[in-house]
Homo-oligomer: A and B are copies of this chain.
Amino acid sequence: MAETRWLNEREMRAWSGFLAASALVNRRLDQQLKDDSGLSHPQYEILVRLAAAPERELRMTELANGLINSKSGLTYQITQMEKAGLVRRRSCPSDVRGVFAVLTEAGRARLDEAAPGHVATVREILVDVLTPEQLDALADGLGEVGRRLREQGA
């Protein structure tokens, strides 16, 4: 193995800043959502993705990809949310194995109810803290980071 290139000070600042912000933001978000609307962050994201999807439904696998959970974790969450009436399952007509998660009216309503507080929190803890230049740097830089990780992982 080649000798290790340790992080210089600039790199270290960026790395530990990212790590800390990542942990703190996630924790705060989770807390706000749970307190304010009884949803966990993963559940909120599921609702958002379903709401944005055509017909407001997605295959389980599609939902699991690009989401924080593993497939089994998604099965668990969808089961919970189905009990709560936020989504329902619909089996795929063309492939008996396939399952769609469908957003219900109640799920839609719950999302509409939770969204304003969520966005306000996102602004408060991140978006409104950054300058426009920093926002662009984040979008460009982290966008690329995400893209590469998606390719690699695939």
Contact = CB atoms under 8 A, between A and B. Distances in A.
Those 5 A-B pairs whose CB atoms lie nearest each other, nearest first: A137-B137, A13-B139, A134-B141, A21-B142, A17-B142
A109 interface: no
Among A115, A116, A146, the one with the most B-chain Cβ atoms within 10 Å of its Cβ is A146
A40 to B, nearest CB: 14
A interface majority secondary structure: helix
- Interface bracket on A: 35 or more
Interface of A: 1, 4-7, 10-11, 13-15, 17-18, 20-28, 66-68, 115-116, 119-120, 122-123, 125-127, 129-146, 148-150, 153
Among A26, A126, A133, the one with the most B-chain Cβ atoms within 10 Å of its Cβ is A126
